[in-house]
């Protein structure tokens, strides 16, 4: 098996090594089944998405006929063998023999880092449990001989989390319209982390991105977490006064930024706690946005890195409220463009209090929101006039049985 793997490796790596084109190799992982098959991968070539990896935005070229490719900068995943560490140890020994100055970097998930822990401890560590998102690298204990070789030849191990892997899957899809499995995208995620950590430009990194054992149902999770992994979305818990007009002031504070999510349910007579998702450029931009909320008088907590929030709480904002008197419950549909949400909020009477609000940007051309609004019975004519002049499609869900059971 190793001979077959090394034959593949030599065909890709040797020309680069001899020409001096490679300075760093970053290894990710694929399922042991692929490693056992001699490293065979589905057709097509992969050009690293340079816009995501390096600020230099360089061009690239591909390596046809091999299920990995060469771009600028370069990436190379770590094929995790059945025993753990089989391929990286073989490649590392081969590469270091030819060019010992080249760095060999492995990439592991933070919750399946058997090799990382073993190298730090100086002996093979057996994990009590492993994460299953990147199931192709879910190895509890690395091999004895491969561990010895990695101790000798591997320069470091980079750890990435689930959000980083999801962002890497999205990067490759946008660049090639190919979908990697989580284990196959490890090297892309690791290279991005390496570039960000080192602040490097115009360096050559090499990778093989492979593995397409993707479950269709998992794609929804990947899409949900990719924006967080790319540092393109930030999540906040924002506290505003529980009074008419507060939401409008908050929307004015948001300005022209694109909101990705907005959830709220009336629960207190004095304060309202809203869940907000917003598009950002990077993590420093997320900090600036939080500071702008604070400057507007809204207490803000950045919860972008909170796993409970990302997995559960963002879907659980709501419930019944004894404060929701005279509540109407409506669904609205409007063109998904900046300012559409503000138009909706600004068109309402300042005397009406919003008791429920939920919005999520799902990438469609139309945005969909659900709103609970407290309208006094003697103002129903004004409410109907608002609906007629708004220009958005709407549905009255006040008699909806599910609403009455869970929110009404």
Instruction: Tell me: do 390 and 244 sit in the same domain.
Output: yes
- Domain boundary residue, one of 197, 228, 259: 228
Instruction: Tell me: do 204 and 295 sit in the same domain.
Output: no
- Domain boundary residue, one of 228, 247, 279: 228
DSSP 59-88: -----TTSSS---SS--------TTSSHHH
Does this model's pTM top 0.75? My answer is no
Instruction: Tell me: do 132 and 243 sit in the same domain.
Output: no
CATH code of residue 261: 3.40.1020.10
Instruction: Tell me: do 188 and 281 sit in the same domain.
Output: no
Instruction: Tell me: do 18 and 86 sit in the same domain.
Output: yes
Instruction: Tell me: do 111 and 156 sit in the same domain.
Output: yes
- Domain boundary residue, one of 207, 228, 249: 228
Instruction: Tell me: do 174 and 192 sit in the same domain.
Output: yes
The total domain count for the chain is 2
The pLDDT of residue 226 is 84
Instruction: Tell me: do 258 and 347 sit in the same domain.
Output: yes
- CB of 206 closer than 8 Å to CB of 24: yes
* Alpha-carbon distance values, 268 to 16, 241, 329 (Å): 64, 10, 19
The pLDDT of residue 365 is 67
Instruction: Tell me: do 137 and 257 sit in the same domain.
Output: no
Spatial strand order of the sheet with 259-265 comes to 299-302, 233-241, 271-279, 259-265, 353-360, 366-374, 327-335, 393-396
The pLDDT of residue 64 is 30
Instruction: Tell me: do 330 and 248 sit in the same domain.
Output: yes
CATH code of residue 157: 3.40.50.1100
Tens digits of pLDDT across the chain (408 residues): 445 555 555 555 554 444 444 455 565 543 333 333 333 333 333 333 333 333 333 333 233 333 333 222 333 433 343 347 887 888 888 888 888 878 888 889 998 899 999 999 999 999 988 888 888 888 899 989 989 999 999 888 899 988 899 999 999 898 888 898 888 888 888 888 888 888 888 777 777 676 777 888 788 888 878 877 777 888 898 998 888 788 888 888 888 788 888 888 888 888 888 888 888 888 788 889 999 999 999 999 898 888 778 777 777 677 777 888 888 989 888 777 766 777 777 777 777 888 888 887 766 667 788 888 889 999 999 999 888 888 888 899 988 887 887 776
The pLDDT of residue 221 is 85
Query: What's the token pair of residue 212?
Result: 């397409």
Crossing angle for the helix pair 2-19 and 86-98, to the nearest 10 degrees: 40
Range of the domain at 70: 2-228
The pLDDT of residue 24 is 57
Instruction: Tell me: do 308 and 361 sit in the same domain.
Output: yes
Percentage helix, strand, coil for the chain under 3-state DSSP, each rounded to 5: 40, 20, 40
Burial code of 269-304, b = ≥16 C-beta within 10 A, e = fewer? Answer: eeebbbbbbbbbeeeebbeebbeebeeeebebebbb
Element (H, E) at 390: helix 380-390
The pLDDT of residue 11 is 57
Instruction: Tell me: do 187 and 254 sit in the same domain.
Output: no
């Amino acid at each position: 098996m190793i001979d077959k793997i090394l034959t593949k490796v030599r065909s890709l790596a040797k020309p680069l090594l001899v020409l001096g084109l490679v300075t760093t190799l970053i290894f990710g992982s694929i399922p042991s089944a692929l490693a056992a098959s001699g490293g065979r991968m589905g057709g097509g070539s992969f050009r690293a998405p340079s816009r995501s990896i390096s600020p230099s935005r360089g061009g690239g070229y591909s390596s046809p006929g091999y299920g990995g490719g060469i771009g600028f900068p370069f990436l190379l995943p770590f094929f995790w063998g059945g025993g753990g560490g089989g391929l990286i140890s073989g490649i590392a020994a081969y590469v270091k023999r030819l060019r010992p100055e080249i760095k060999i970097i492995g990439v592991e998930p933070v919750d399946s880092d058997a090799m990382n822990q073993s190298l730090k401890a100086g002996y093979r560590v057996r994990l009590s449990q492993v994460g299953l998102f990147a199931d192709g690298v879910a190895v509890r204990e690395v091999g004895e001989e491969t561990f010895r070789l990695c101790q000798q030849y591997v320069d470091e191990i980079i750890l990435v989390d689930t959000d980083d892997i999801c962002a890497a899957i999205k990067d490759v899809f946008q660049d090639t319209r190919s979908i990697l499995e989580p284990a196959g995208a490890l090297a892309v995620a690791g290279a991005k982390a390496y570039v960000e950590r080192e602040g490097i430009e115009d360096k050559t990194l090499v990778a093989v991105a492979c593995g397409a054992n993707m479950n269709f149902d998992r794609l929804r999770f990947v899409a949900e977490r990719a924006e967080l992994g790319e540092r393109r979305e930030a999540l906040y818990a924002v506290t505003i006064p529980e009074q008419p007009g507060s939401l409008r002031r908050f929307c004015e504070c948001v300005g022209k930024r694109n909101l990705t999510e907005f959830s709220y349910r009336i629960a207190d007579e004095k304060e309202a706690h809203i869940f907000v998702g917003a598009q950002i450029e990077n993590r420093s931009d997320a900090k600036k946005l939080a500071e702008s909320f604070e400057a507007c008088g809204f207490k803000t907590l950045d919860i972008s890195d909170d796993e409970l929030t990302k997995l559960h709480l963002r879907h659980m904002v709501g419930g019944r409220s004894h404060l929701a008197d005279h509540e109407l419950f409506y669904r609205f549909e409007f063109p998904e463009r900046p300012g559409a949400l503000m138009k909706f909020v600004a068109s309402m009477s300042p005397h009406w209090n919003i008791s429920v609000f939920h919005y999520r940007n799902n990438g469609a051309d139309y945005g969909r929101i659900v709103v609970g609004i407290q309208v006094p019975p003697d103002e129903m004519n004004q409410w109907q006039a608002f609906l007629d002049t708004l220009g958005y499609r709407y549905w009255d869900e006040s008699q909806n049985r599910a609403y009455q059971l869970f929110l009404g």
